[in-house]
Amino acid sequence: MKTLMSVLSLYWRHYPNWFLWGLLIGLMAALASIALMATAGWYLGATAISGLSGASVALAFNTLYPGFLIRTAALARTFGRYGERVITHDATFRFIARLRLYVFDGISQLTFRRLRDFRSGELLARLTADIDALDGIYLKVVLPLASAILSTLVVLVALHTINGPMALAVGGILLLALILLPLQAGRVGVGLGRRLAFSSEALRLRYIDLLRGQVELIMAGRLTDQVDAIQRAADRIHILQDRLAKHDLVGRALISLAGGAALVAVLLTGAYAYEQEAISGSVLLMAVLATLALTELMAPIRRGLLEIGKAIYAGQRILPLVADPLEDESTDLSDHGPILLEVSRVDFAYSDKAALIFSDFSLSLRSGEAIGIVGASGAGKSTLLGLVSGLLDPQCGRIRLDYEDGRAAHLQPRIGLLTQRTELFRESLAFNLRIADASGSDTLLRQTLQKAQLAKVLERSNAGLEQTLGDDGLGLSGGESRRLALSRLLLFKPDLWLLDETTEGLDSETAAAILSVLRSETANKALLFVTHKQAEAELADRLLIMHEDQPPNLISRADSDQWQAAVNGLR
């Protein structure tokens, strides 16, 4: 219940008018449907009675007013149902679209440690399937249940004006059914719906594991086991769906029994009142058909409640990720002074069972200094960049990055990380660059691309900055993709530069030009970079030499012999 109320509170927070208008128009459509049946019943009964009463009475019978009421009710029902669909569905789709933004912003604000807890495709499932499941809370539960209860109360008030015992008998049966049947359906739906949602997620994850790990599964001889696991999950879903369908049939039967009991109550109390000449035959027929119309409003409620478990499960997964969208403000790219990076007595391993990559490791770096990280593959060079950037968390120790000027203590220094994997989007060059500086002018973007030796990319197409890249930067070479990512750092102007194999794959001339730009751009910044090249090592004031089985060794240019030996070992 708490989850349902939380989702509805979000709905009410953003779309209160749509929420109320949907309920009001839904109620209007329901009452129009009941009025149509009731008026038609009275009209048929009155017409039959007037016909039996003689020609003079039949000729005097006024058909204008009941005909007008029937046509009005029919039109109100038609337009009401259409309007209710338009308003409620439009509001729901708007709400779901906004909720996706909130969840996406919540995901973007998660720590990297928390993000690593999610399996591949799980966050996408939260943004798609889970949010889609929440539309049933309003459309399939709240709206039909509210319409049925309010319509029943209105009809009971009308019946009470006709005959008190009739209203009491019908009200007792229908209100009891509107309480007990939804409660029973909700109890069943919570359990079955949750298990169905969980099984669907398990099936999806097993499919993903099969598609992404076919080679590993074949080599391990586990492909058949994975296929069997998928089949078991699919069978489980079929079983749960069959149970849900059976409960739906039982519910429909119970609703029919409740409706039948209400009709019997109307006929018995109405027949007695008719014998006592308290009501006419046409009014009795009107009450019967009005009660029949009421029972038709109960069927959608139960089906929606049978699926409520899926919505609750989705809400429990979604609500912890909901965050208000961040305001679209330009990043403050001004220089707030020198920074200080302190890595103090850090221990790190990728798991509790793995060997320590860093043990009691310490390092300090200030603005205006550059440290190059060298060593064999697997020694932990990229891991150190991950720790400093916050992508990895140490088991113990502390990593701090602050402005040395106390006036900027409330600000977080900007970190720029260039990894060996380039992240580009299927968008224009300008879009991919303005991720770093949303307010950057076209002139600034072109100048930045020229610094990154990408002027030829602009010349390839008449679209210039608006030329569109393919998925993951398709259309650019590997070196061009990395230089485009580097261009973002040039625009972002980080206080701490973290670079991993910056000029890897570039020809010597382009690499020299890039290094010249980096030397200029990072002159007053802190620079920590991984390299295997002598040319890149010349950017460093100190070299951190890393070995797999030995503690890292930090040397400076003043240690000329060690420095030269380390540089000579590079390419």
- The answer to the question of residue 68 being in a domain is yes
Residue position matching structure tokens 């919570």: 190
Q: 374 has which bridge partners?
A: 545
Mean pLDDT of the region 315-339? 75
Mean pLDDT of the region 527-556? 91
Q: How many C-beta neighbours within 10 Å does residue 167 have?
A: 20
Give the chain's count of helices (H) and strands (E): 23, 9
Is the pLDDT assigned to residue 452 strictly greater than 80?
yes
* Per-residue pLDDT, 59: 43
Q: 364 has which bridge partners?
A: 342
For residues 78 and 142, membership in a common domain is answered with: yes
* Per-residue pLDDT, 51: 53
Residue position matching structure tokens 């968390």: 393
Whether the pTM exceeds 0.85: the reply is no
Per-residue pLDDT tens over the stretch 60-78: 445 667 777 778 888 888 8
Is the pLDDT assigned to residue 256 strictly greater than 80?
yes
- The answer to the question of residue 329 being in a domain is no
* Per-residue pLDDT, 283: 81
**CA–CA dist 370, 372 (Å, integer):** 7
Last residue of a domain, one of 256, 288, 321: 321
Per-residue pLDDT tens over the stretch 126-176: 888 888 888 778 888 888 888 888 888 888 888 888 888 888 888 888 888
- Write out the two tokens for 356: 């320590």
CB distance 341 to 401 below 8 Å? yes
- The answer to the question of residue 328 being in a domain is no
- Write out the two tokens for 43: 């009209």
- Write out the two tokens for 459: 């010349």
For residues 295 and 421, membership in a common domain is answered with: no
- The answer to the question of residue 110 being in a domain is yes
Mean pLDDT of the region 287-310? 78
Instruction: Report the share of the chain in percent with pLDDT over 70.
Output: 93
For residues 36 and 88, membership in a common domain is answered with: yes
**CA–CA dist 533, 570 (Å, integer):** 5
For residue 484, name the pLDDT band (cuts at 50, 70, 90). very high
Query: Mapping DSSP to helix (H, G, I), strand (E, B) and coil, where does residue 3 land?
Result: helix
Q: What is the CATH number of the domain that holds 41?
A: 1.20.1560.10
Nearest to 373 by CA among 191, 142, 189, 527: 527
Q: Apex CA 338: angle with CA 332 and CA 340, to 5°?
A: 110
- The answer to the question of residue 331 being in a domain is no
**CA–CA dist 364, 305 (Å, integer):** 60
Mean pLDDT of the region 187-196? 79
- 262-to-253, 281, 385 alpha-carbon distances in Å: 14, 18, 73
Residue position matching structure tokens 């197409």: 461
CB distance 145 to 117 below 8 Å? no
Is the pLDDT assigned to residue 546 strictly greater than 60?
yes
Q: Among 103-107, 156-160, 333-337, 511-515, which range has the highest average pLDDT?
A: 511-515
For residues 282 and 343, membership in a common domain is answered with: no
Domain count, the chain: 2
For residues 407 and 556, membership in a common domain is answered with: yes
- The answer to the question of residue 333 being in a domain is no
Instruction: Say which range, 217-221, 266-270, 416-420, has the weakest mean pLDDT.
Output: 217-221
For residues 308 and 403, membership in a common domain is answered with: no
Q: What is the CATH number of the domain that holds 417?
A: 3.40.50.300
CB distance 525 to 368 below 8 Å? yes
Is the pLDDT assigned to residue 346 strictly greater than 90?
yes
**CA–CA dist 363, 5 (Å, integer):** 51
**CA–CA dist 116, 392 (Å, integer):** 10
Per-residue pLDDT tens over the stretch 487-500: 999 999 999 999 99
For residue 527, name the pLDDT band (cuts at 50, 70, 90). very high
| Full DSSP string of 278-338 | SS-HHHHHHHHHHHHHHHHTTHHHHHHHHTHHHHHHHHHHHGGG--PPPP------S----
Residue 244, class by beta-carbon neighbours within 10 Å (0-12 exposed, 13-18 middle, 19+ buried)? buried
- Write out the two tokens for 389: 């950037």
For residues 217 and 108, membership in a common domain is answered with: yes
β-pairing, 358-366 vs 339-348, is: antiparallel
Per-residue pLDDT tens over the stretch 308-318: 777 887 888 88
Domain residues for the domain of 358 are 339-568
For residues 199 and 77, membership in a common domain is answered with: yes
For residues 530 and 385, membership in a common domain is answered with: yes
* Per-residue pLDDT, 408: 61
Per-residue pLDDT tens over the stretch 386-418: 999 988 889 999 999 998 876 566 678 899 999
- The answer to the question of residue 127 being in a domain is yes
| Full DSSP string of 474-539 | TTS-HHHHHHHHHHHHHHH--SEEEEESTTTT--HHHHHHHHHHHHHHTTTSEEEEE-S-HHHHTT
For residues 174 and 224, membership in a common domain is answered with: yes
β-pairing, 553-556 vs 496-500, is: unpaired
Per-residue pLDDT tens over the stretch 3-54: 778 877 877 887 888 888 888 888 888 888 888 888 877 777 666 655 545 4
Q: Mean pLDDT in the chain?
A: 84
Is the pLDDT assigned to residue 97 strictly greater than 60?
yes
For residues 212 and 352, membership in a common domain is answered with: no
Angle at which helices 308-318 and 164-212 cross, to 10°:
60
For residue 226, name the pLDDT band (cuts at 50, 70, 90). confident
For residues 171 and 317, membership in a common domain is answered with: yes
Q: How many C-beta neighbours within 10 Å does residue 529 have?
A: 24
Query: Mapping DSSP to helix (H, G, I), strand (E, B) and coil, where does residue 380 land?
Result: coil
Last residue of a domain, one of 262, 288, 321: 321
Element (H, E) at 545: strand 542-546
Query: Mapping DSSP to helix (H, G, I), strand (E, B) and coil, where does residue 371 land?
Result: strand
- The answer to the question of residue 326 being in a domain is no
Instruction: Say which range, 100-114, 256-270, 444-458, 504-518, has the weakest mean pLDDT.
Output: 100-114
Last residue of a domain, one of 276, 294, 321: 321
